[in-house]
A and B are shown apart, each in its own frame.
Chain A
Amino acid sequence: MATDLRISNISKIYPGCVANDNVSLQFKSGKIYALLGENGAGKSTLVKILSGVISPDNGEVFLNEKNLKLNSPLDAKKNKIGMVFQHFNLFETLSVFENLSIDATEDNKSLRVRINEILKKYNFSIDLDVPVLNLSAGQKQKVEIIRCLLRSPKVLIMDEPTSVLTEQETEELFISLKKFCDEGILIIYITHKLKEVLSLCDEVAVMRKGKVVSVSQTQNEKVETLANKMVGQKLAKIRKKINISKNKDEIFKVKHLNFYSDDPFETNLINLNFSVKKGECLGIAGISGNGQNELFQILSGEIITPDTSIIFRNKEIAKLNPKQRREYLMAFSPEDRISQAAVPELKIFENVALNNFKSSNFFEKGLVNERKIKEHSKKILSDFSVNTDNVELKSQFLSGGNLQKLILGRELITAPELLICYNPTWGLDVGAISYIHETLIKINDQEKSTILISTDTEELLKLSDRIAVIYKGTLSKIMPSEEVTPEKLGVLMGGGSID
């Protein structure tokens, strides 16, 4: 029997963020659907609604014209909606069979028979009696898929399934998915990888900032067109005055930056080389998860990589930790305001003391100089228009925008020669964003340099003098931003090439 899944006017609002804005979509069995969007576009919220993990503020879900009440994951299971999450829900120390039998309703004997049938039918080779921890990521995913198949699902939702898979495993997965599709299971495939959409899916819905911005047949799409839809075509209207930086000195130079990690959730970086001139803003674009985290941590000194050379103001600093790099007048503003750049449980002045220079005398002879830190904090609060003057306030009571102003203020008040920031306006309101953009432009006007790692194309085009794109841990060539268009960025961000 054909399956027809219809989502009608779904909205979900979190404080300060509209995760889903009146989303309506229709899916029919026999096709593989892609749900495409950047991180934070609202894909995961939609999927969580479909799998009953959260309930929408508004809107309805219909399966074969029956209005579904999805109040819990159990409801989704009962209605034969199966879900494979990006992070697996398996007990590592239990065997494959034990994992599958946990929520089964039948006796072990018949369950085993049914599992073996599935294994045979889809050519899965998994030993049912080994502990799950011995399996590869791809095999674990298969166990999750088998768990769904045991319930003969009508709908199978895959959330970023290839992020932990090897090329080979990805191919196998695609073959299986096509088989499921032929058998009449409706497949919804969630991803931000454009090539996968083109090679696997029949129809693609693109989400951006909580809204569905396009629904189309994949055969009519190309990497570039999808990328543009995904990141948005709006060309930045206000663009900073490009610094005439052709003949300026290089202040910062990275050579042979390589990073290898055993963690499947980290991205390896492959031979990055770039430099930043005095007074220049170098933008690094890319869809999140392509190595920005790792790059930021290496530039800040949180991760030290062997054989990398980082020259800053004619000194080799590749082996220095963040504190030592600050002494050379570098400053860092990480993406994660709440658990990295600042500690919410600490008071404002204590968070200010995190950026501690020898010359600032916050800690003379190992003792806390509270008076000095507080004075300094007061100056930051007023210079960077944070909406409080109480340095004893715990930082958790600051809004995101004010916290970011505090962090940027803390990093900038020491007049660094280079500021490295990563998604500095993530999750902020318009007012705070424009304040932070103005601040970043001002730094460049004062002949100080910035490296802006950002997933926001608009922001990059507005602020950067030169732009490069990071994709799967490699860096594209660096382009003067007057030659860059959102289209070009889109292609590079999706893994395509230009010229």
Chain B
Amino acid sequence: MVPLIKIEKRNDVPMALYFFTPFIAIILTILGGGIIFYILGFNPIEALKFYFITPISNLYGLSELLLKATPLCLIAIGLSFCFKSNNWNIGAEGQLTFGAIVGGGVALLFYNQEGFYILPLVILAGAIGGMIFALIPAILKTYFNTNEILVSLMLVYVSKLLLDYLVVGPWSNPEGFNFPETRQFSDSSRMPLLFEGLRIHAGIFLALAAVMLSWFVLYKTYLGFQIKVSGLSLKTAKYAGFKGNTMILVVFMISGACAGLAGVGEITGPIGQLHRMISPDYGFTAIIVAFLGRLNPFGIIFASLVVALTYLGAETAQIFLQIPKYTGQVFQGMILFFLLASDYLLFFKVKILSLKKNELRH
């Protein structure tokens, strides 16, 4: 007897289950993490506690969680516009960096000035920066048929190298002893803090506003309708006469603006200047957030909190268990893979058949 695996498409997938599978993926990730800790020689229960509970067991931890979730949520909201319409922008990290460069540039112009108008200008500059940078893959896609996955990904390194050059070269702090960083921004360029002593800042309102706005645009406007149809069937979108190229440009601009806002939120929030490491790959991790949140604005809020926790957990685990903080990426990777696997099982059923040897199929 030879077991045979047959995979069939399921005809009717209940929507409730579709939104439930992310939870299954998270549970599996926690179990998988436990196994990894066990293999590494740690008590899995204790290690998981350090990972998922200790970081948010006090007010400071909760503030850190929201602080990390803010950029993830903002970027993922932007990405959901692209992904829903079949545009694969995976260069949000580059758009974040370029947004931070442009926003940071404006902040540096005003480094020795005060004024209520400075912060809005900086934020606006950041959004425009991200938007412009996202327009590059979009324009190349619409007019030269390039693949946006490759172009947007490669541009990440362009913007990171540009940032490198600026912070060691022209923009480096003249009083900074040649450290690769710019001057500190003036207080007028900094996001107001919400609570004394905690790092959580007003950027979170930008993220919440983005959630509301995106829900409205995606579900209540003609643009949202076009995005939905294009995502389901490009052939239908063409037949309906939607302006495909305009839509590509618009979704990339939205996505880039959100990433740019996230970048400017980081430098005007917790960081306060430009240096090499302004983002622990928020732009890439946000791809996982977008899919874990099912490209739904409210799902994305939830997903950004979960994924932000893996960043915090990794730091706590590094401090208390001396595990490299890169385990955070392991957890993020596991979430994505478990989610993809659950989705696969959601849309396809696997049948195991037994056949006699002479019936063995190819």
Q: Report which A residues bind B (CB closer than 8 A).
A: 71-74, 300-302, 321-326, 332, 334, 336, 339-343, 345-346, 350, 353-356, 363, 366-368
Contact = CB atoms under 8 A, between A and B. Distances in A.
B18 to A, nearest CB: 12
A414 to B, nearest CB: 14
13 contacts: A72-B362, A73-B362, A74-B361, A300-B239, A322-B241, A339-B235, A341-B239, A343-B233, A343-B236, A346-B232, A367-B221, A367-B222, A368-B224
A354 B361 contact: no
Majority secondary structure of chain B interface residues (helix, strand, loop or mixed) = helix
A366 B222 CA distance: 5
B241 A301 contact: yes
> Chain B contact residues (Cβ within 8 angstroms of A): what range?
20 to 34
Contacts of A332: 239
Interface string B219-236: 111111100110011011
Nearest to B229: A343
Contact of B236 (A74, A301, A354): A354
Contacts of A353: 225
A324 B241 CA distance: 8
B359 interface: yes
Interface string B192-231: 0000000000000000000000000001111111001100
B221 A366 contact: yes
A120 to B, nearest CB: 31
B235 A321 contact: no
Nearest to B241: A323
A343 B359 contact: no
Contacts of A343: 229, 232-233, 236
B233 A340 contact: yes
B240 interface: yes
A323 B242 contact: yes
B238 interface: yes
B223 A366 contact: yes
A354 B222 contact: no
B361 A321 contact: no
Given A340-B233, A354-B229, A322 B239 contact: yes
B243 A321 contact: yes
Contacts of A325: 241
B239 A363 contact: no
Contacts of A302: 238-239
Given A301-B241, A323-B242, A325-B241, A340 B236 contact: yes
A321 B246 CA distance: 13
Contacts of B228: 346, 350
A332 B362 CA distance: 44
B250 to A, nearest CB: 12
A413 B209 CA distance: 40
B218 to A, nearest CB: 11
Given A300-B239, A336-B235, A363-B221, 13 more contacts: A71-B361, A301-B241, A322-B239, A323-B240, A339-B233, A339-B236, A343-B229, A345-B232, A350-B225, A350-B228, A353-B225, A354-B236, A366-B222
Contacts of A71: 359, 361
A340 B240 CA distance: 9
A472 to B, nearest CB: 25
B241 A368 contact: no
Contacts of A323: 240-242
A356 B362 contact: no
A342 B225 contact: no
A73 B228 CA distance: 40
Given A74-B361, A301-B241, A323-B240, A340 B225 contact: no
B211 to A, nearest CB: 19
Contacts of B225: 350, 353, 363, 368
Contacts of B241: 301, 321-326
Contacts of A336: 235
A108 to B, nearest CB: 22
10 interchain residue pairs of minimum CB distance: A323-B241, A322-B241, A74-B362, A363-B222, A72-B361, A354-B240, A72-B362, A321-B241, A340-B235, A343-B232
